[in-house]
Amino acid sequence: MLDIKKIRADFPILKRNVNGKPLVYLDNAATSQTPQQVIDAIVDYYQNYNANIHRGVHTLSQEATDKYEQARNKIQKHFNAAKAYEIIFTSGTTHSINLVANGFSSLIKKGDEILVSAMEHHSNIVPWQMLCERTGALLKVIPMNQEGELRMDVYDELLNNKTKLVFCNHISNALGTINPIEEIIEKAHKVGAAVLIDGAQAAPHLIADVQALDVDFYTCSAHKICGPTGVGMLYGKENWLNKLPPYQGGGEMIAEVTFEKTTYAGLPHKFEAGTPNICGGIAFGAALDYMNAIGFEEIAKYEHELLEYATQELLKIDGLKIYGTAKNKTSVISFNIEGIHPYDMGSILDKLGIAVRTGHHCAQPIMDFYKIPGTVRASFAFYNTLEEVDVLITGVLKAKSMLL
Ligand code: PMP
């Protein structure tokens, strides 16, 4: 069992008040909060060994390089990648996806087909649309049903020998649906297509084993798993990373440069041009240490309890509708109350110290599907409590009585 009191004491921000009320932070799907252990890793870097990496012979540079590469090893171990150099540090999921989409420009041709799910974040839609514009490939959509589950029967029909790539999130940020990625990957591979899974929303809740999944690319952002913003990772199978051209040119990513010709460094440096977010990478490793010490199985179990309780209590409110009722879902609840705009609900909740997200959650196609402008989204992390769910319910009822 998780010791929630002890866990909460690790997060300094959870002690603060917002608008005169104790903060109830329920916007974890957007960004998680940062424990002292990760803050300490950031401070330690700047206080003790801030230096540029990989090039320096001096002690600070070597210390920083060692810690940065140790962080890569932690990420490799966490996701069970076969090689450390299959982990590319990026600025986050958006950067990771753009890196792959850009690289596929030279591997995709007119008439090829790319499948993307109907419940993607914009960062897993727009880069592929841009790729299609550049190459003449066709973007096709795997639809979803009213519950917010992918129509796997239609997926089967869409797959064919023209399908070159399939992109899907592991967990939807707007609905919380956990997608059947094992089946998606296996079926895509049968027609020879590569698969990228956007793990931005899955990484805080479960551990993806990239070798067991046999996934070609997997991405995540550190700021959703108790790490800092501006850093994330791309896992790519070695043979795919070797096939893709570099995304950006610059220092660190070269073997040799002359004005006639440049040769590129090997993996992972080929994709890591310029000075990276060194401190961020190290803190990403510290965040994984922190979460693994708590344990993902315990985290998932506890978050499920929060989800069940919050769902049950929210559904008692007259006129409240939850979007995303998949059997297999994580601790994200998107809802609306008939006659109330999500923005108005979010503003009143904020006055009560409750942080939720309102709007389209960078997933406009989902809002179009449900014919709504947006939702109120409460997303729970392992440091939230059942008491905080009660505060949310009281807040929603209060907002309802004020707005209707
Ligand atoms: N995909 C999903 C499913 C997300 O939830 C997010 C963040 N909301 C992203 C991609 C983009 O992540 P980032 O902004 O960290 O690049």
pLDDT tens digit sequence for 358-400: 999 999 999 999 999 999 999 999 999 999 999 999 999 999 9
Residue 70 backbone dihedrals phi, psi, to 5 degrees = -65, -40
State whether 201 and 340 are in the same domain: no
Model pLDDT, residue 195: 98
Residue 323 host element (H or E)? strand 320-323
Rg, C-alpha atoms of the chain: 22
CA-proximal residue: ligand 1, atom 8 (nearest): 30
Residue 376 host element (H or E)? strand 375-379
User: Which residues are marked as active site?
Assistant: 362
Q: Is the whole model's pTM more than 0.95, yes or no?
A: yes
Cα gap 356→377, rounded to integer Å: 6
State whether 238 and 364 are in the same domain: no
92 lines ligand 1 (CB under 6 A): yes
Cα gap 140→130, rounded to integer Å: 14
**For residues 179-186, average pLDDT:** 98
**For residues 8-34, average pLDDT:** 98
Model pLDDT, residue 8: 98
Domain boundary residue, one of 262, 292, 322? 292
**96 vs 55: which has the higher pLDDT:** 96
Domain boundary residue, one of 292, 327, 345? 292
Cα gap 86→216, rounded to integer Å: 10
Residue 169 backbone dihedrals phi, psi, to 5 degrees = -85, 150
117 lines ligand 1 (CB under 6 A): no
Model pLDDT, residue 254: 86
Question: Would you place residue 123 in the very low, low, confident or very high pLDDT band (cuts 50, 70, 90)?
Answer: very high
As a dihedral over the C-alpha atoms of residue 177, residue 181, residue 187, residue 192, rounded to 10 degrees, the angle is: 120
Model pLDDT, residue 252: 83
CA 236 from chain center: how many Å? Answer: 16
Mean pLDDT (the chain) is 97
94 lines ligand 1 (CB under 6 A): yes
**207 vs 263: which has the higher pLDDT:** 207
Q: What is the largest CA-CA distance in the chain?
A: 71
Q: Which atom of ligand 1 is nearest to the CA of 92?
A: 16
Q: What is the CATH number of the domain that holds 282?
A: 3.40.640.10
State whether 316 and 341 are in the same domain: yes
State whether 177 and 88 are in the same domain: yes
Q: Which atom of ligand 1 is nearest to the CA of 221?
A: 15
State whether 71 and 98 are in the same domain: yes
From the DSSP assignment, how many helices (H) and strands (E) are in the chain? 14, 17
277 lines ligand 1 (CB under 6 A): no
Q: With the C-alpha atoms ordered 63, 68, 69, 71, is the resulting torsion angle positive or negative?
A: positive
Model pLDDT, residue 56: 81
Model pLDDT, residue 110: 97
**For residues 234-247, average pLDDT:** 97
Q: What is the CATH number of the domain that holds 331?
A: 3.90.1150.10
> Of 189, 173, 100, 76, whose CA–CA distance to 181 is shortest?
189
173 lines ligand 1 (CB under 6 A): yes
State whether 396 and 353 are in the same domain: yes
Residue 240 backbone dihedrals phi, psi, to 5 degrees = -70, -45
C-alpha of residue 218 to centroid of ligand 1, in Å: 13
Q: Which atom of ligand 1 is nearest to the CA of 95?
A: 16
The 10s digit of each residue's pLDDT in 77-91 is 999 999 999 999 999
**For residues 126-135, average pLDDT:** 95
**Is the CB of residue 269 less than 8 Å from the CB of residue 319?**
no
**For residues 6-21, average pLDDT:** 98
Ligand 1 pocket check: which of 201, 206, 223, 331 to mutate, most ligand atoms within 8 Å of Cβ? 201
Give percent above pLDDT 90 in the chain: 95
State whether 242 and 357 are in the same domain: no
**For residues 67-82, average pLDDT:** 98
C-alpha of residue 228 to centroid of ligand 1, in Å: 14
Q: Which atom of ligand 1 is nearest to the CA of 123?
A: 10
Ligand 1 pocket check: which of 27, 32, 94 to mutate, most ligand atoms within 8 Å of Cβ? 94
> Of 234, 228, 179, whose CA–CA distance to 206 is shortest?
179
C-alpha of residue 135 to centroid of ligand 1, in Å: 25
**Full residue range of the structural domain in which residue 17 is found:** 4-30+296-403
> What is the ipTM metric for this complex?
0.98
State whether 138 and 280 are in the same domain: yes
Residue 139 host element (H or E)? strand 138-142
**For residues 320-327, average pLDDT:** 97
C-alpha of residue 83 to centroid of ligand 1, in Å: 25
Number of domains in the chain: 2
Model pLDDT, residue 310: 98
Angle at 199 between CA 209 and CA 293, to 5 degrees: 60
> Of 139, 219, 135, 124, whose CA–CA distance to 174 is shortest?
124
State whether 326 and 252 are in the same domain: no
Cα gap 159→190, rounded to integer Å: 9
Q: Which atom of ligand 1 is nearest to the CA of 173?
A: 5
C-alpha of residue 268 to centroid of ligand 1, in Å: 22
DSSP 217: E
179 lines ligand 1 (CB under 6 A): no
The 10s digit of each residue's pLDDT in 139-156 is 999 999 999 999 999 999
CA-proximal residue: ligand 1, atom 12 (nearest): 93
Model pLDDT, residue 55: 79
C-alpha of residue 223 to centroid of ligand 1, in Å: 10
State whether 66 and 182 are in the same domain: yes
Domain boundary residue, one of 239, 266, 292? 292
State whether 59 and 137 are in the same domain: yes
State whether 122 and 252 are in the same domain: yes
What contacts 243, CB < 8 A, 6 or more positions away?
103, 107
C-alpha of residue 342 to centroid of ligand 1, in Å: 21
Count of positions (residues) in the chain: 404
171 lines ligand 1 (CB under 6 A): no
